[in-house]
Structure 1
Amino acid sequence: MLQFLPAPLRGVISALLLALNTLICCWPLFAVALLKLLLPIPPIQRGLRFVMHAIAEFWISFNKFWMNQVRDTRWDVEGIQGMDLRHSYLITSNHQSWVDILVLQYLLNRRVPFLKFFLKQELIWVPVIGLCWWALEFPFMKRYSKEYLAKHPEKRGQDLATTRRACARYKNNPVSVFNFLEGTRLTPQKHAQQNSPFKYLLKPKAGGIAFVLDAMGEQLDAIVNVTIHYPSGNPGFWDLLCGRLDQVVVRFDKLAIPTEFIGRNYDQDEEYRLRFQQWVNQLWEAKDAQLAALHQQYPGRS
């Protein structure tokens, strides 16, 4: 345990371990990805994809190791039972910090199929890790503003096409497709700018998960709705590295996918789009109430 060290020194050690872990794991990952490109034979590609996921899961396991060394974080987790590696899931969560991703990986590694996150297209240029995400077939999404789409209507539906292409690769393997419904991290500025009706959340964007249901709804076993709360306030990534993450509260809620939402076209069916958005809004109302209760139960720094 490294808790006796000053926090900045712990941060430096953690950063070095994370960088070393990434550099060690990326080379076999790239080698297998190249082999997969050179051998476009479905059974072989499925086997190679399994190897790539094993490399990524090892990377997460080592990250869990150094996270445990820099801080004995108190984990208050409920509802994680009942998931396994044999089924596919659509997972979503509230989004407060980059730490959310490592929290989810920490808790779900080897409990569910390897998590595939929806990522902004710009993140593919992140050194080393961007290529790792690409090799692991994470879906990269290019976002267009309403103003841009008004001038370039031919770009409409590209997110759906990207989602369908990504999901087509997941058809023969169990997968956990992850999407932050809010689309971005919660900050007071964003909350005020949106005039969000929720106290602890931004407005949810239903399109991402609706596209996944459209593309692979029958393959999915359930929607897993995750709520993350940090009693001491939302941590930054440096806080995690320094071992300042003292407590994390996480609630998992496994939901059956309503049959009325499977096989529908969110992009073209206006009635369905309205009903699906209403359903998502109800999930967010319940999540906001749950967060309010957690803030009362764990009255740390808001």
Structure 2
Amino acid sequence: MTFWHKIRGSLALLGIVLNTLILCPVLFFFALLKLVFPFDAAQVGLSKVLVFIAETWIGINNGIAALTSQTRWNITGMESLDRNQWYLVTCNHQTWADILVLQKISNRRIPFLKFFLKQELIKVPILGLAWWALDFPFMKRYTKDEIARDPSLKGKDLETTRKACEKFAYFPTSVMNFFEGTRFDAKKHASQASPYQYLLKPKAGGAAFTLNAMSGHLRNLLDVTIIYPPGAPRSLLAYLGGAMPVVDVIVQQRVIPAWASEGDYESDPEFRARFQQWIGDLWDEKDALIASRMKQ
């Protein structure tokens, strides 16, 4: 990455920060109204206003990134998407830039992307309140040791998260889940002894938790594969600064089988094996797709 890539990337980051500082007060005003008017009709209407503000924020960020990165995009598979559908979105995870790429391709093409967040993140200054206002589901996962000490905690994490997701029944939603759970790098790949050439092992439990918590609302999977240029630095600054001149994005829409949101991943070994096999097959196909594109 050259000096000029770093300069352009830094200018883009500054622009995104300024965009955030300008739009956040508007977002917070409508978030305050959500607290004042707790009845369902107001909550749904205000949620749509808040999503419009967030999509405007993303649109401006996309414009900033386009100016500084001048990336050439090869995007396939976005033709038949619908803003009135519920989607589970997953993607191979390589860099924080993945989130900006996903926001670029999905903004106003599918329902606004939301992430399951750890409960502690609601305390993050500015962003925590913004995530709450935008109905990002916060979850608290209990460890096996915590449950062993207090059996009453068993199932509480799913129950709490499912309650947070109840409002998604009122309007279409897209939920993002990186199945790998962390960003790819050579050290993690080696320590896992990953059977895939370009991917880490998927953590099927997170996907099962998401589908179960959403109570069957997620019927379609958008399986996104991002391919950056070989040898290009994998960083947010590199992406914004133009060190990734070409980015390929392949979107494959799949139907989520009904059984995938109905089982108990933690307690049912037969369901767990079946779910892991389903995710493993997706990952086999994704790894083969990346390998074929890298040879071109």
User: After TM superposition, is the score higher than 0.5?
Assistant: yes
Give the Cα–Cα distance (whole angstroms) in 1 for the partners of residues 98 and 32 of structure 2: 30
For 1:160-179, what per-residue CA distance to the aligned partner results, in whole angstroms no more than 9, with x for missing partners?
23431232121111000111
8 A Cα contact 2:233 2:243, kept in partner: no
Partner of 1:290: 289
Partner of 1:26: 24
Q: Between Structure 1 and Structure 2, how many residues are aligned?
A: 293
Alignment RMSD: 2.1
Change in CA separation of 1:247 and 1:152 when aligned onto 2, cut-off 3 Å: farther
Matches within 5 A, 1:207-226: 207-216=205-214, 218-226=216-224
Q: Which runs of 5+ in 1 are unaligned?
A: 298-302
Deviation at 1:113, TM superposition (A): 0.4
Q: Which runs of 5+ in 2 are unaligned?
A: none
8 A Cα contact 1:76 1:250, kept in partner: yes
Matches within 5 A, 1:1-302: 6-143=4-141, 154-216=152-214, 218-232=216-230, 233-297=232-296
Give the Cα–Cα distance (whole angstroms) in 2 for the partners of residues 12 and 115 of structure 1: 25
Whichever residue aligns with residue 241 of structure 2, its letter is C
Change in CA separation of 1:76 and 1:270 when aligned onto 2, cut-off 3 Å: same
Give the Cα–Cα distance (whole angstroms) in 2 for the partners of residues 139 and 206 of structure 1: 19
Deviation at 1:53, TM superposition (A): 0.1
8 A Cα contact 2:112 2:174, kept in partner: yes
What secondary structure sits across from 1:9 in the alignment?
helix
Deviation at 1:39, TM superposition (A): 1.0
Deviation at 1:217, TM superposition (A): 5.1
Change in CA separation of 1:185 and 1:239 when aligned onto 2, cut-off 3 Å: same
What secondary structure sits across from 1:287 in the alignment?
helix
Change in CA separation of 1:120 and 1:191 when aligned onto 2, cut-off 3 Å: farther
For 1:104-160, what per-residue CA distance to the aligned partner results, in whole angstroms no more than 9, with x for missing partners?
000000000000112344443443223212221212344555566555655443442
What secondary structure sits across from 1:85 in the alignment?
coil
